[in-house]
Amino acid sequence: MDLYGTEVFSIMLGIGLAAACGLRVFLPLLVASLFSHFNIAGIGLNESFAWMGSWPAMIAFGIATCVELLSYYIPFVDHALDVIAVPLSSIAGTLVAMSAFMDMPSLFSCGLALIAGGGIAGLISTGTAATRVASTTTTAGLGNHMVSTAETVGAITLSLVAWFIPVLAILVVLGLIFLSVRILSKARRTIRRSQAP
């Protein structure tokens, strides 16, 4: 059975791209748009999301990606961006997951995209925001550029891996979920200790 033609592949692709939205909101959308438009690897998007492969969508995602990537290298703007990135990443994760899901009942694909796509993207984005706060606290913001670069490289890599090796992408996603939960648990313990009398 050809994995590239199965619902399992589309679910793994969608979840992988959604997780990448937790690292960078627009970059996975740009990758999905480019890959769909140029029919890379012979994989398309759900017919309802064919617009994502259009030239206007590619240009819009490209501009949004450039603005997002550059903004994370501007002090204080990076923290402001983190505040809006969490809800935006959940929306983008839901959207990109739904665009990848093929041959499924719409109610099931919507629910799965919202829970798995949006939920995972939001969790990972919250974890990266907490990492940036920790970096600012421990390095006076000097380490934030490295955090931003790592997130960008991670988003690009995960988007490509999701497209070409979806099984590996799922393993990476599980690792990111584990790391995000640990980072957030540690942040919560730190806050509780600081508030203790």
- Using one digit for the tens of pLDDT, what is the confidence trace for 52-101? 999 999 999 999 999 999 999 998 888 889 889 999 999 999 999 999 99
**Extents of the domains making up the chain:** 3-195
User: At 167, phi and psi to the nearest 5?
Assistant: -65, -45
Q: How many CB atoms lie within 10 A of CB 181?
A: 13
- E strands, 85-131, are none
Distance, CA of 121 to CA of 113 (rounded, Å) = 10
Q: What integer pLDDT is reported at residue 1 of this predicted model?
A: 39
Amino acid at 116: A
pLDDT tens-digit readout, 107-144: 999 999 999 999 999 999 999 999 988 888 888 888 89
pLDDT of residue 103 exceeding 90: no
